[in-house]
């Protein structure tokens, strides 16, 4: 790619790459200068040019001297599209999942299904970049656009043909997952989250819809979970776009979910596909796990999977890290589960998943993240108090907020809950209360291996701490 491909004036100068961090610019790069909530990339244009940038994609009002100014009313979008052309080609089958909950499990299960059917596959999201051989943490559900495109191009060179990635509302709104041919896009569900960023539920939903209305290829397929209040809206807007639609769930036309029955180690699920009903013995517990499996199965079908092989693979799925992951069984026989649930809906779903397996009491431990949507704290307390036998409120990632203030807000919804500030101490207390027949749920942090307090990230893994406390 040459500069003339981006700028209107003739130029044979060859582009060597793209960058959004001026410190990473090298000779021949195109720099993206974006205005963000915390930083204004336009402040770093001069530094980027000093480091060798030959072009800058920025607003028309931005000041650019010494390099080609590629003016754009939407610099993030145009940068992503240009970078997308530069770093191509990518794996042949790219699919994306959006929704409030279930994205991580759905993309990872899609990867597992593909792998069991013989495809070299990967997933990208909250857990990082996962392949059959490795897992690399990126720190973000949707990494920056240059990292994202580089990763995809690298996977193509490694021989990976199938990739499933999470399309978070932030990533969609900021065009961090743009510039690539998405063959199938899935919707899981929609509920309150990220209102610290999007301000309104309408804005949050519209960010999600960008996946279907802007990123999904014209000949792509929309896979929609039917059992959410917003599912019909998603289906209608996908139809308006003119793409093919596959639906899964209790009203699904592609895969219809029938009766579910809890088993000691999972669940037995009735599924109907192409007019035939099958009984799936799923080694995962909970209704939302079944939902994630069906979304993943829909994406596999959308990318050419044969039903017989797919159905067999569904019965061999492994739990996803930090998603109703059984960490340990205490010496008194109480299983301890770790889950990433950090919204009212997700917490309710995790509790509902465990309830059929509880013979005694359900002990739920959770907190809430600082510097995030404050309005969900009391509702999370209400959900825990309404559906658990014992509730312990503790710290999550307080970040820059006062941890006691966060706990106080949660306790407004759960006034009878036990308050234990330190998360390790709280986990130890929860396990000490659990006896035979009880189940302990440690919610909120899931796969995370650090606790953010102030400007420090302290080592902390719920699974490891639970095992230590149970020893």
Per-residue pLDDT tens over the stretch 438-454: 999 999 999 999 999 99
Render pLDDT for 311-323 as a digit per residue (tens, 0 to 9).
999 999 998 889 8
pLDDT in tens, 191-238: 856 556 657 888 889 999 999 999 999 999 999 999 999 999 999 999
| Residues in contact with 56: Cβ distance below 8 Å, sequence separation at least 6, in sequence order | 30, 31, 32, 33, 45, 48, 49, 62, 64, 67, 68, 69, 70
Using CA atoms, how far residue 178 sits from 36, 136, 208, in Å, is 17, 21, 13
Cα separation, 191 vs 348, in Å, equals 12
Which stretch of 29-38, 210-219, 334-343, 412-421 has the lowest confidence by average pLDDT? 29-38
Calculate mean pLDDT across residues 410-425: 98
Q: Which of 190-199, 296-305, 345-354 shows the lowest per-residue confidence on average (mean pLDDT)?
A: 190-199
Which of the pair, 457 or 320, is modelled with greater confidence?
A: 457
pLDDT (average), residues 296-313: 98
**Cα distances (Å, whole numbers) of residue 130 to 61, 124, 134, 164, 213:** 41, 6, 6, 10, 27
Q: What is the mean pLDDT of the chain?
A: 93
Mean pLDDT of 167-172: 88
pLDDT bin (cut points 50, 70, 90) of residue 35 is: confident
Helices (H), 216-342: 231-241, 287-302, 307-314
What residues pair up with 40 in beta bridges, in sequence order?
A: 35
Tens of pLDDT, residue by residue over 248-290, are 999 999 999 999 998 877 999 999 999 999 999 999 998 889 9
Average pLDDT in the 404-420 region? 98
Quick check: 167 and 215 in contact, CB under 8 A?
yes
CA distances from 152 to 112, 162, 273, 419, 449 (A): 18, 10, 32, 45, 25
Cβ-Cβ contacts under 8 Å for 77 (sequence gap 6 or more):
175, 178
pLDDT-derived band of residue 142, with 50, 70 and 90 as boundaries? low
């Amino acid at each position: 790619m040459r500069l003339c491909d981006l700028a209107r004036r003739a130029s044979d100068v060859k582009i060597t790459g793209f960058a959004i961090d001026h410190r990473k610019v090298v000779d021949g790069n195109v720099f993206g200068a974006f205005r963000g909530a915390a930083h204004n990339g336009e402040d770093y244009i001069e530094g980027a040019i000093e480091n060798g940038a030959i072009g800058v994609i920025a607003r028309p009002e931005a000041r650019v001297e010494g390099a080609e100014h590629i003016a754009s009313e939407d610099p993030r979008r145009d940068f992503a599209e240009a970078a997308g052309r530069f770093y191509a080609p990518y794996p042949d089958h790219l699919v994306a999942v959006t929704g409030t909950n279930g994205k991580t499990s759905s993309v990872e299960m899609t990867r597992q299904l593909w792998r069991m059917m013989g495809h070299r596959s990967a997933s990208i999201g909250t857990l990082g970049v996962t392949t059959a051989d490795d897992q690399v943490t990126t720190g973000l559900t949707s990494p920056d656009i240059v990292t994202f495109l580089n990763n995809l191009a690298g996977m193509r060179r490694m021989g990976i043909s199938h990739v499933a990635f999470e399309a978070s509302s932030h990533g969609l709104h900021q065009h961090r997952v743009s510039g690539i041919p998405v063959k199938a896009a899935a919707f899981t569900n929609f509920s309150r989250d990220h209102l610290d960023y999007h301000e309104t539920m309408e804005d949050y939903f519209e960010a999600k819809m960008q996946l279907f209305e802007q990123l999904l290829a014209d000949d792509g397929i929309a896979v929609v979970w039917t059992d959410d209040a917003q599912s019909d809206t998603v289906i209608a807007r996908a139809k308006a776009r003119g793409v093919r639609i596959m639906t899964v769930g209790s009203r699904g036309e592609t895969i219809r979910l029938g009766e579910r029955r809890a088993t000691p180690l999972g669940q037995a699920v009735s599924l109907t596909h192409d007019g035939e009903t099958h009984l799936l013995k799923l080694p995962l517990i909970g209704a939302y796990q079944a939902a994630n499996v069906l979304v993943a199965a829909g994406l596999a079908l959308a990318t050419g999977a044969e039903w017989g092989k797919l159905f067999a693979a569904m019965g061999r799925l492994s739990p996803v890290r930090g998603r109703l992951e059984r960490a340990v069984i205490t010496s008194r026989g109480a299983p301890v589960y770790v889950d990433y649930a950090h919204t009212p809906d997700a917490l309710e779903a995790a509790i509902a998943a465990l309830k059929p397996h509880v013979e005694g009491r359900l002990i739920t431990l959770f907190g809430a993240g600082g510097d995030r949507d404050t309005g969900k704290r009391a509702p999370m307390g209400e959900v825990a108090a309404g559906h658990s036998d014992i509730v312990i409120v503790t710290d999550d990632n307080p970040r820059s907020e006062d941890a006691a203030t966060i706990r106080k807000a949660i306790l407004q919804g759960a006034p009878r809950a036990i308050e234990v500030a330190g998360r390790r101490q709280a986990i130890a207390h929860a396990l000490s209360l659990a006896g035979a027949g009880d189940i302990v749920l440690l919610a909120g942090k899931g796969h995370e291996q650090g606790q953010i307090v102030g400007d420090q990230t302290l080592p902390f893994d719920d699974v490891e701490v639970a095992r230590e406390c149970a020893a």
